[in-house]
Amino acid sequence: MRILVTGTAGFIGFNLARRLLREGHQVFGVDGLTPYYDVDLKRRRHRVLESHPNFRAEILRLEDAEALRRAADAAKPEIIVHLAAQAGVRHSLEAPREYVDANLTGTFNVMEAAHAHGVRHFLFASTSSVYGANLQAPFRETDAADHPLSLYAATKKAGEAMTHAYAHVWGIPTTAFRFFTVYGPWGRPDMALFSFAEAILAGRQIELFNAGQMERDFTYVDDLVEAVIRLLPLAPETGRPVGAADSLSPAAPWRAVNIGRGAPVPLMEFLAILEKALGRRAQTVFAPMQAGDMASTFASADLLEDLTGFRPSTSASLGVPAFCEWLLAYRADPEEVCARAAAGLQA
């Protein structure tokens, strides 16, 4: 199929695009190469993808409606996977307008492309942060998600509402997947695992918010990609729920699906696994809870398993060492790591 993926120079978009290319799809990437984190890492990811003949990319900002329209017209997508966004809970306290521009205006422009091309399935990346102040655990797709704690979460919740409206008005089959703390090789430097590892290797202190009393439902990137791949052909249909717990809308071909392991890991345990994988101790300092953050996330993966027969299962004790192996190799020789990744893409 012809699949347009936004955010192909990003962590999740890169890993998803590699899998799609291996499975024989034509992938059309769109990315703005924004400087939120290391642009060289983003360029290297794209360089790996560009080694495959079925990959094409346009460098543009989603806020540029005309540029995106031209790119979508050239791609003629059958499916759109919209992953590009301004991410990061804490950065949304410092640069809120970036979230409005990228996550609201950008998402609207991608929805317009989905409408114009009559795609058979539109998949939108949301986040576990939409559950916000919800105290019921595990988080289920049918739980209320009306009290976001950060502007990032609010823009993602707004994106879900916008895609639902388009699904209703234009009949665009839409899945909003809620990601739970994704980590793994080629990850994002601003996220905890990457930043903790870099600090440990450099001998710098690590700030542990809420005195370290945090837990996350960490999801290994290969598990997430597997879940998305299995959801691609499962376009929702109005009024066709799988069961009482399904999030399928009564008014539109739209559903939300959690992608998480369903096994939260305390932050201190996660840090201990990282220390063991690197063979070094961390220097830590406790800090208060940061505004906009959630103390705990906990996914129910029941709907995902009902729909696809798959449930993420990679434990932190396996996933963290795999990330560390990649990071140490990348720090030593990024060009060699890219060359090996490109060769693997051709295999």
Q: Could you tell me what percentage of the chain is helix, strand and coil, using 3-state DSSP and rounding each to the nearest 5?
A: 45, 15, 35
Under-50 pLDDT residues of the chain: none
Residue 17 contacts residue 225 (beta carbons within 8 Å): no
Whether 36 is catalytic: no
| The total number of residues written for the chain in this structure | 347
User: What is the C-alpha separation between 6 and 226, in angstroms, rounded?
Assistant: 18
**Cα radius of gyration (the chain):** 19
pLDDT of residue 46: 98
pLDDT of residue 211: 87
Strand, helix or coil at 151? helix
Sequence letter at residue 57: A
Is beta strand 26-31 parallel, antiparallel or unpaired with respect to 205-209?
unpaired
Q: At what angle do helices 316-332 and 267-278 cross, to 10 degrees?
A: 50
Q: Encode burial over 206-244: b for 16+ CB neighbours within 10 A, e otherwise.
A: bebbbebebbbbbbbbbbbbbbbbebbebbbebeeeeee
The backbone region for 108, taken as left when phi is positive above 0, alpha when psi lies in -120 to 50, beta otherwise, is alpha
Nearest CA-CA partner of 124 in 134, 133, 114, 138: 114
pLDDT of residue 20: 98
Strand, helix or coil at 58? strand
Given the residues 99, 152, 166, 330, select the one marked as catalytic: 152
Q: Which domains does the chain have, with CATH numbers?
A: 2-180+220-260+300-312+333-346 (3.40.50.720)
pLDDT of residue 241: 63
pLDDT of residue 202: 97
What's the pTM?
Answer: 0.96
Could you give the C-alpha distances from 152 to 56, 96, 229, 303, in angstroms and in order?
29, 8, 26, 25
pLDDT of residue 291: 79
Token pair for 73? 């017209």
Residue 9 contacts residue 43 (beta carbons within 8 Å): yes
pLDDT of residue 244: 63
User: How do residues 184-234 score in pLDDT, each as one tens digit?
Assistant: 999 999 999 999 999 999 999 999 988 888 999 999 999 999 999 999 999
